[in-house]
């Protein structure tokens, strides 16, 4: 009897403790060490443990870094908004007309998401590049190739929408799946037009899912490294790409760590700014588990 | 009359958006798929079929080694993150009590930190503070962090309708917690575990943004592809992407068939109301 009591009492701490320790050791501590490094400096590829704010001063006053950050913020916002505008009708259509094949329609969106960023960037170059499908078709028809999709910020934006649309669709789909559609019927019975029912019932009650989708698109876009490198042109450098270069070619780890901290804080601030605007109870969020 | 017209218009607009989105997502994939099997790889319309590209890809020892490394990375990170996420999900639902909110925030936090930051932070921690060289193990551990949150979400969506009275019943009849888990819980939740493993395996297998900083000199398929991509797109890369796409489609296909034929459903799952 005592053994059984012990087993059931040990289960909780064990089940929750091991994952917690895992995340603390391999997620929280590394992030903290990045913060520490950002206050040191790099000299000739060596780290000097000398506490200073030099990296942040460089980032705040060095012209290109501010430009990169602003460009990344604009890019991430535009891409996230476009993705949500596309993802809403898509997930709504899957819910309405998917029938018993809903799961298949949703999984079909996950296939491109799971094939990895490098391979999808390769596929995108096959679509947008100078020798790609679009320009190939245009040239076969005797038209001039489209310049604005070759190594430009527009190409980067198309690429990022391509990369992160699937996750936004999945999140909004899940939100709609758990939404009780009888509420729409109720609104209509009481005389609301379909448009009004949508904007006063469906949209606000799925706002939480939409905002999660926004965050899960915005954050990786903000730190995108691959898409701007291979799709964006000479004026397409984004913050994440510049950060990755600090750890590669230029070897200035401390500056890179400071850029990492800036990206991390910007993402957190963006999520908080979105989160503050949402009244969770109004959005129908029922907490974790027994919904 | 006007109402019916508006309804039909909405319907066609929604379906058209859906179709266009699939076209947008799959056009590049189909294009490079065709290009991989064609001699005229740049513009394979109409294609002149060949398997040479795949022959060169599979015959290349660099890609062979990279494939094995990617496989180990995927299995390691997938298994580790699935096991940890299973423990965390069960713990959250059954044992967390008042700490649920705090723990859940920690468990899904990696979703809200960009992959490249996880990679760079782990690189700094390993290289600077532990003075460890990058290798496959450090890449597995860092990938498991990112995969953990996805595995947790997948399992949570599957598990939160699980009927825990079944476990209680087993315990009332004298089964130990361990026996209850292996004879009642596990047989009912394995589809969630399998789904989480398949998804996390594929994610870690294809990951570059985390692995890149932690692999040291170990090549994996994405890192080799990245290296080759810097010198321009070659047909071999199309073939590689196509091969991986086919495997992913196969994996998700198996998952779908299992779920669809009812081989993998959950015991005592209440029929949910129609969503929309």
Kindly determine whether residue A23 and residue B110, on different chains, have CB atoms separated by under 8 Å. yes
Residues of B in contact with A269 (CB under 8 A): none
Q: Which of A10, A17, A18, A26 to mutate to test the interface with B (most CBs of B within 10 A)?
A: A26
**Residue (of B31, B18, B26) closest to A112 by Cα position:** B26
CB distance A90–B202 less than 8 Å?
no
Handedness of CA B172, B175, B181, B185 (dihedral sign): negative
Residues of A in contact with B5 (CB under 8 A): none
Residue of B97 and B122 predicted with greater confidence: B122
Residue A55, min C-alpha distance to chain B (Å)? 16
pLDDT at A291 (0 to 100):
35
User: pLDDT tens, B38-90?
Assistant: 877 777 777 777 888 888 888 888 888 899 999 999 999 999 999 999 999 98
Q: List, for residues B114-123, the tens digit of each pLDDT value.
A: 999 999 999 9
Using a CB-CB distance cutoff of 8 angstroms, which residues of chain B are in contact with residue A218?
none
Instruction: List the one residue out of B152, B78, B190, B116 whose CA is nearest residue A244.
Output: B116
Residues in A 180-239 with any Cβ partner in B closer than 8 A: 180-182, 184, 194, 215-216, 219-220, 222-223, 225-226, 230
- A&B contacts, CB < 8 Å: 291
Q: Tell me the Ramachandran region of residue A286: left when phi exceeds 0, alpha when psi lies from -120 to 50, beta otherwise.
A: alpha
| A120: chain B residues, CB-CB within 8 Å | 28, 241
Distance CA A240, CA B83 (A): 32
**Residue whose pair of structure tokens reads 């926004």 in the numeric block:** A214
CA nearest to B233 within chain A: A122
B226 neighbourhood in chain A, CB within 8 Å: 118, 226
What is the residue-averaged pLDDT of chain B?
84
Q: Tell me what pLDDT residue B275 has.
A: 41
Report the alpha-carbon distance of residue B167 to residue B187 in Å, rounded: 12
* Pairwise CA distance, residues A220 & B223, whole Å: 19
Q: Find, in chain A, the residue whose alpha carbon is nearest to that of B143.
A: A26
Among the partner-chain residues A4, A27, A243, the one whose CB lies closest to the CB of B110 is A27
Instruction: For residue B253, give how far its alpha carbon lies from the nearest alpha carbon of chain A (Å).
Output: 9
CB-based contact, A2 to chain B, within 8 Å:
no
* Set of chain B residues whose Cβ sits within 8 Å of the Cβ of A127: 27-28, 31
Residue A12 has which token pair?
A: 């909780």
pLDDT at B44 (0 to 100): 74
Q: What is residue A158's predicted lDDT score, i.e. its pLDDT?
A: 92
Q: What is the ipTM of this complex?
A: 0.85
> According to the model, what pLDDT value does residue A73 have?
93
Strand, coil or helix: what is B200?
Answer: helix
pLDDT at residue number A7:
61
CB-CB under 8 Å, A26 with B141: yes
How many other C-beta atoms lie within 10 A of the C-beta of residue A132?
A: 24
- Both tokens of B243, joined, read 């091969």
Statement: the pTM of the whole predicted model exceeds 0.80: yes
Tens digit of each residue's pLDDT (9 = 90 or more) over B138-177: 999 999 999 999 999 888 877 777 777 888 888 888 888 8
Please spell the DSSP secondary structure of B237-272, one letter per residue: HHHHHHHHHHHHHHHHHHHHHHHHTTTT--TTPPPP
Walk along chain A (291 residues) and give the pLDDT tens digit of each residue. 455 566 667 777 888 889 999 999 999 999 999 999 999 888 777 777 888 888 898 888 877 899 999 999 999 999 999 999 999 999 999 998 887 788 788 888 877 777 888 888 888 888 888 778 888 888 888 888 887 887 888 999 999 999 999 999 988 998 888 888 888 888 888 888 888 888 888 888 888 889 889 998 999 999 888 888 888 877 888 898 889 888 877 788 889 999 999 999 998 898 888 777 766 655 555 544 433
Report whether pLDDT(B228) > 60.
yes
Chain centroid to Cα B205, Å, comes to 9
Could you write out the DSSP letters of every residue in chain A?
-HHHHHHHHHHHHHHHHHHHHHHIIIIIHHHHHHHHHHTSEEETTEEE----SHHHHHHHHSHHHHHHHHHHHHHHHHHHHHHHHHHHHHHHHHHHH-GGGHHHHHHHHHHHHHT-HHHHHHHHHHHHSTTSHHHHHHHHTTPPPPGGGSSSHHHHHHHHHHHHHHHHHHHHHHHHHTS-THHHHHHHHTT--HHHHIIIIIHHHTHHHHHHHHHHHHHHHHT--HHHHHTS-TT---HHHHHHHHHTTS--HHHHHHHHHHHHHHHHHHHHHHHHT--TTTTT---SS--
Residues 152-181 of A with CB under 8 A from B: 162, 165-166, 169, 174, 176-181
What domains, with CATH codes, occur in chain B?
A: 60-232 (1.10.3720.10)
Strands A41-43 and A46-48: antiparallel
pLDDT higher than threshold 90 for residue B133: no
Tens of pLDDT, residue by residue over B175-210, are 888 888 888 888 888 878 888 998 899 899 989 989
Q: Which of B6, B123, B238 is facing A126, going by the closest CB pair?
A: B238
Q: Which of A222, A226, A213, A214 is nearest to A116 (CA)?
A: A226
Q: What is the number of other CB atoms lying within 10 angstroms of the CB of residue B75?
A: 15
Please report, for residues A287, B91, B92, B145, B194, the alpha-carbon distance to residue B87 in angstroms, rounded to integers and kept in the order given.
19, 6, 8, 14, 14
User: Cα B128 to the chain's mean position, in Å?
Assistant: 30
Return the residue in A172, A214, A289 with the most chain B beta carbons within 10 A, the one to mutate for interface testing: A289
Q: What is the DSSP letter of B41?
A: T
**Which residue matches tokens 């990369």?**
A163
User: Which ranges of B95-220 would DSSP assign to H, the alpha helix?
Assistant: 100-108, 115-124, 136-159, 165-172, 177-180, 186-206, 211-214
Structure tokens that stand for B51 in this block = 């398997």
């Amino acid at each position: 009897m005592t053994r059984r009591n012990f087993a059931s009492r040990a289960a909780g701490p064990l089940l929750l403790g091991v994952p917690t320790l895992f995340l603390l050791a391999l997620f929280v501590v590394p992030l903290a060490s990045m913060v520490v490094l950002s206050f040191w400096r790099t000299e000739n590829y060596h780290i000097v443990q000398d506490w200073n704010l030099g990296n942040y001063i460089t980032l705040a006053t060095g012209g290109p870094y501010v430009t990169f950050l602003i460009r990344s913020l604009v890019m991430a916002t535009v891409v996230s908004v476009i993705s949500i505008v596309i993802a809403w009708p898509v997930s709504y259509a899957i819910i309405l007309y998917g029938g018993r094949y809903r799961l298949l329609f949703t999984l079909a969106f996950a296939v491109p998401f799971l094939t990895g960023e490098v391979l999808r960037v390769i596929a995108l170059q096959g679509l947008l590049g100078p020798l790609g499908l679009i320009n190939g078709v245009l040239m076969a028809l005797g038209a001039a190739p489209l310049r604005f999709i070759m190594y430009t910020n527009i190409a980067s934006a198309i690429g990022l929408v391509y990369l992160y649309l699937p996750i936004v669709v999945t999140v909004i789909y899940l939100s709609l799946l758990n939404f009780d559609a009888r509420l729409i019927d109720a609104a209509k019975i009481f005389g609301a037009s379909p448009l009004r029912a949508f904007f006063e019932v469906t949209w606000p009650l799925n706002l939480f899912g939409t905002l999660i989708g926004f965050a899960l698109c915005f954050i990786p876009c903000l730190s995108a490294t691959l898409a701007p490198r291979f799709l964006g042109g000479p004026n397409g450098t984004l913050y994440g790409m510049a950060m990755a270069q600090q750890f590669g070619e230029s070897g200035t780890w401390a500056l890179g760590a400071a850029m990492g901290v800036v990206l991390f804080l910007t993402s957190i601030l963006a999520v908080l700014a979105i989160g503050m605007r949402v009244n969770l109870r109004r959005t129908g969020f029922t907490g974790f588990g027994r919904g | 009359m006007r109402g019916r017209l508006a309804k039909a218009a909405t319907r066609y607009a929604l379906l058209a958006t859906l179709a266009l989105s699939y076209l947008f997502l799959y056009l590049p994939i189909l294009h490079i798929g065709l290009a991989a099997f064609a001699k005229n790889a740049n513009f394979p319309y109409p294609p002149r079929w060949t398997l040479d590209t795949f022959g060169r890809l599979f015959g290349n020892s660099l890609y062979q080694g990279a494939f094995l490394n990617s496989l180990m990375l995927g299995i390691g990170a997938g298994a580790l993150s699935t096991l940890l996420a299973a423990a965390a999900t069960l713990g959250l639902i059954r044992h967390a009590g008042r700490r649920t909110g705090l723990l859940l925030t920690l468990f899904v936090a990696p979703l809200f930190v960009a992959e490249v930051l996880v990679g760079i932070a782990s690189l700094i921690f390993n290289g600077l503070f532990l003075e460890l060289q990058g290798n496959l193990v450090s890449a597995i551990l860092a990938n498991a962090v990112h995969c953990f949150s996805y595995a947790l979400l997948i399992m949570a969506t599957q598990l939160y309708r699980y009927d825990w009275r079944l476990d209680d019943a087993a315990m009332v009849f004298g089964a130990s917690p361990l026996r209850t888990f292996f004879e009642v819980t596990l047989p009912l939740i394995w589809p969630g575990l399998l789904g989480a493993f398949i998804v996390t395996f594929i994610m870690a297998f294809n990951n570059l943004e985390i692995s890149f900083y932690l692999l040291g000199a170990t090549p994996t398929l994405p890192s080799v592809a990245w290296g080759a991509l810097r010198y321009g797109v070659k047909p071999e890369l199309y073939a590689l992407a196509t091969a991986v796409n086919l495997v992913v489609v196969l994996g998700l296909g198996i998952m779908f068939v299992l779920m669809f034929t009812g081989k993998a459903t959950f015991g005592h799952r209440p029929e949910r109301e129609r969503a929309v």
